[in-house]
Chain A
C-alpha cells in the first residue's frame, strides 16, 4: 500500500511515546530516583504524625520492661524506615497492617476489608500460628508479609527490614510456601529445587550441593527424579517445603501446610517443619487445624474477619476459659433450653452456651461436678443423648471470643 500516507500514524505513535516517557521520567525525578512507582502511598511519610521517637512516649509506657519498650510500634515505625534494625529485635513486627480489596463486578464497586489494622510481633526462633476460619484474612496477612501483596495501610518490619522500602532484602531472608506449592508438574522434583536454588543466586555447583543436602534431610531421594505431577499429596507437600528452605531462610512462611493431607502425612509434614525449626528457622504458619496449632505453635494469634481477636501461647488462651467443659446433648432444642434454665444458676457453672440441641457448661472442677449435674437431670427425668467432659481447646476459645465455631465457616 501507499506508505507515504503513514506519516500521521507515525507522528501519533511518537507523540504517545514522548508523552508517556516524560510522565515516567517526571515521576522518577519526583520520587528521588530510586524507588520508581513501587511505593506510591507507603513511603516514610505515611506514618501517622503522632508517632515519634521512643523518647517522646508517655511515661507509663517508658516504665515498662525493655522488651515491651522495643516492641512498641512507635519504635519500629521510626527505626524501620531508616534501614536495618539490630539482630536482637523481633523477626516480624506489624503496625496497623491493613489490606482493602476493591473489586468491580458488573459495574458495582465492592470494598472488602480483608485485614483491618493488625498489630503483632513474632520473636526470632518462634513457631507462630495464625488461626482462623477461611476468609478471615490469614493468607492475605501472610502474603503481605511475604512481599507478594502491598498493604493498603500500615507498615511491617521483617527481619529488621521495612516492608515497603526493602522488599528485595526481605525476600533473601524469607521462604514462602503457598497453599498450592508452585511446583512445575512437567519437571522432576530435583529440577524444581535446582531452579529454585539458582533463583536465590546460587551457582550450579552450590545449587546441586544444596539440593543433595535437602534430599537427604527431608528424605526425598526415592522420588526426586520423577515428575512432580505424579507425586502423591504428601510427597508434593514435602517438596514444597523443601523449595521454601532451599536458601536457608531465617523466616519461613507456611500457608496451610497440612490442608488436604491424611493424618499420617500431616504428622510427617509437621515433623519436617519441626526439623527446620530446630535448625533455628522462625516459622510463621497459617492453619485452621486448631489441634495442630495447639500442639506445635509457641504462640498463636486468632483472627476473625480481618482482626486479631486473641494472641498468646495456646495455654494462655485456653486459660481464659475457666476449668472444664461439660457438653450435654439432647433430643430437642426445647429440652436443651429447659436444662439451661435448670442448671444455669448453679454456683459452680461459670458460663453456659447453647448450640442447637446441645448445651456447653463451662465449670470449675468438672470431674467433681459432673455427677451432681447428672443427678439433677436424673431427678427431673431428663435423659441426655450424649455427655462429654473435656479440657478447653482453642476451638472453645474461638467459640467464646467470636460467638461462632471455627468449623462453621469451613468448606
Chain B
C-alpha cells in the first residue's frame, strides 16, 4: 500500500472530472454566455471599431479574446458550488479521513477547472474563427493556454476556499457576484479601458484581469511584444500560489 501526493492528486482529480463528464450540460451552459455575447454584442462594436484609439483592427479581433478570459473568470469562480454539495454529502470528510495528503486533496479538486477551461476555450476559439471570422495566431493561442490554466487555478482555489468557509450556496453566490462582476467590467472586456474616464482607468490598473484581457488580445492577434503578457503571467502566478496556499490551509484546519 503506497500513497504519493502525485498519484493521489490524479486519483481525486480523475474522479472529479468523471463526475463532471457524467453531466455533459456543463459544456453547453458554460459556453452559452460567451457565444451569445459574440453573436449579439460584438455587432454593436462594429460601429465604434473605426473610432480613433480603438486598439484592434476589427470588432471581433477585439472582443473574442476578451470573451475567452470572461469564460475563464466565470467558469472557475463558481467551482466552489460543487464543493459545498460534496461537503454536505460527507464525501470531503470521507477523503479527509484517509491517509491521502491534504495537498493532494486540494490539488485534486483544483485539477478539474483548468482541464474543463482548456476544452471550453478551445471550442470557443474554433467557433469564433469559423462563424465570426476571428483570425487567430496559432502560436499566440498556444501561449495563451498556460495563462488560462493559472487564472483557472487562481479563481478555482479562491472559490473552493470561500465555499469551505461559508458552506452555503446562497452566501457563496452573493460573494462571488460581488467580486466577479466588478473584475469583469473593469477589465475592459466589453469596451476598451482607454475609452473610460481617467478614474476608471486608474482603478482598472489594479485589476489583474485587465492585464489578462490585454494579454489575451495581443496573443490571439499575434502581438508578442506587449508588456501586458508577462505582467499577466507574473501576477496570476503569484495570485495562484497565494490562493492555492489559502485553500490548503483552510482544508487542513477543521472543516466542520
Chain A interface (Cβ within 8 Å of chain B)? Answer: 1, 3-6, 9-10, 13-14, 16-17, 20, 37-38, 101, 146-150, 168, 171-172, 174-176, 178-187, 195-196, 198-202, 206, 243, 247
Complex A-B: 28 CB contacts under 8 Å: A1-B193, A1-B194, A3-B231, A10-B231, A10-B234, A10-B235, A17-B242, A37-B252, A147-B97, A178-B90, A179-B90, A180-B88, A182-B89, A182-B92, A183-B91, A184-B86, A184-B91, A186-B19, A196-B94, A196-B98, A199-B8, A199-B11, A199-B12, A199-B95, A200-B98, A201-B1, A201-B3, A206-B1
Q: Determine how close the nearest CB of chain A comes to the CB of B157; give it in whole angstroms.
A: 15
Q: Is the CB of B97 within 8 A of A4?
A: no
Q: Is the CB of A181 within 8 A of B90?
A: yes
Q: Is the CB of A202 within 8 A of B254?
A: no
Question: B144 at the A/B interface (Cβ < 8 Å)?
Answer: no
Cross-interface CB contact of B204 among A1, A149, A243, cutoff 8 Å: A1
Question: B238 at the A/B interface (Cβ < 8 Å)?
Answer: yes
Binary CB contact string for chain B from 187 to 229 against chain A (1 if under 8 A, 0 otherwise): 0100011100000010011100011001000000000001110
CB-CB under 8 A from A148, the residues of chain B are 93, 96-97, 254-255
Q: Is the CB of B256 within 8 A of A149?
A: yes
Q: Is the CB of A17 within 8 A of B238?
A: yes
Q: Is the CB of B89 within 8 A of A13?
A: no
CB-CB under 8 A from A199, the residues of chain B are 3, 8, 11-12, 95, 98, 100
Shortest 7 CB-CB contacts between residues of A and residues of B: A182-B90, A182-B94, A201-B1, A180-B90, A3-B227, A176-B97, A171-B99
CA distance A6 to B90 in the complex (A): 45
Chain B interface residue count: which class? 35 or more
Q: What is the number of contacts between chain A and chain B, taking CB atoms within 8 Å?
A: 121
CA distance A198 to B249 in the complex (A): 24
Q: Is the CB of A168 within 8 A of B99?
A: yes
Question: B241 at the A/B interface (Cβ < 8 Å)?
Answer: yes
Question: B177 at the A/B interface (Cβ < 8 Å)?
Answer: no
Q: Is the CB of B89 within 8 A of A185?
A: yes
CB-CB under 8 A from B239, the residues of chain A are 13
> In the complex, which residue of chain B has the Cβ closest to the Cβ of A178?
B90
Q: Is the CB of B11 within 8 A of A198?
A: yes
Q: Is the CB of B210 within 8 A of A200?
A: no
Q: Determine how close the nearest CB of chain B comes to the CB of A135; give it in whole angstroms.
A: 14
> In the complex, which residue of chain A has the Cβ closest to the Cβ of B226?
A3
Q: Determine how close the nearest CB of chain A comes to the CB of B169; give it in whole angstroms.
A: 17
Q: Determine how close the nearest CB of chain A comes to the CB of B4; give it in whole angstroms.
A: 9
Binary CB contact string for chain B from 233 to 256 against chain A (1 if under 8 A, 0 otherwise): 011001101100000010011111
CA distance A201 to B104 in the complex (A): 13
Which of A171, A176, A184 neighbours the largest number of chain B CB atoms within 10 Å of its CB? Answer: A184
CA distance A20 to B242 in the complex (A): 9
CA distance A324 to B226 in the complex (A): 89
> In the complex, which residue of chain A has the Cβ closest to the Cβ of B88?
A180
CB-CB under 8 A from B86, the residues of chain A are 184
Q: Is the CB of B241 within 8 A of A9?
A: no
CB-CB under 8 A from B211, the residues of chain A are 3, 6
Q: Determine how close the nearest CB of chain A comes to the CB of B217; give it in whole angstroms.
A: 10
Q: Determine how close the nearest CB of chain B comes to the CB of A115; give it in whole angstroms.
A: 13
Question: B122 at the A/B interface (Cβ < 8 Å)?
Answer: no
> In the complex, which residue of chain A has the Cβ closest to the Cβ of B95?
A199
> In the complex, which residue of chain A has the Cβ closest to the Cβ of B101?
A168
CA distance A352 to B100 in the complex (A): 55
CB-CB under 8 A from A10, the residues of chain B are 231, 234-235
Q: Determine how close the nearest CB of chain B comes to the CB of A24; give it in whole angstroms.
A: 8
Binary CB contact string for chain B from 20 to 54 against chain A (1 if under 8 A, 0 otherwise): 00110000000000000000000000000000000
CB-CB under 8 A from B8, the residues of chain A are 199
Q: Is the CB of A202 within 8 A of B231?
A: no
CB-CB under 8 A from B3, the residues of chain A are 199-201
Known: A6-B205, A9-B205, A196-B98. 20 other contacts (CB 8 A): A3-B226, A3-B228, A6-B231, A16-B238, A101-B256, A146-B97, A148-B97, A150-B253, A168-B101, A171-B97, A171-B99, A174-B97, A180-B88, A184-B15, A184-B91, A186-B19, A199-B8, A199-B98, A200-B98, A202-B1
> In the complex, which residue of chain A has the Cβ closest to the Cβ of B100?
A199
Binary CB contact string for chain B from 83 to 115 against chain A (1 if under 8 A, 0 otherwise): 000101111111111111100000000000000
CB-CB under 8 A from A147, the residues of chain B are 97
CB-CB under 8 A from B210, the residues of chain A are 1
CA distance A201 to B3 in the complex (A): 5
Which of A183, A200, A201 neighbours the largest number of chain B CB atoms within 10 Å of its CB? Answer: A201
CA distance A146 to B255 in the complex (A): 13
CB-CB under 8 A from B1, the residues of chain A are 200-202, 206, 247
> In the complex, which residue of chain A has the Cβ closest to the Cβ of B14?
A195
| A3-B211, A4-B227, A150-B253 as given contacts; A13 in contact with B94, CB under 8 Å | no
Cross-interface CB contact of B2 among A4, A146, A183, A201, cutoff 8 Å: A201
CA distance A176 to B91 in the complex (A): 12
Q: Is the CB of B99 within 8 A of A182?
A: no
CB-CB under 8 A from B194, the residues of chain A are 1
Q: Is the CB of A184 within 8 A of B19?
A: yes
Q: Is the CB of B252 within 8 A of A38?
A: yes
CB-CB under 8 A from B242, the residues of chain A are 16-17, 20
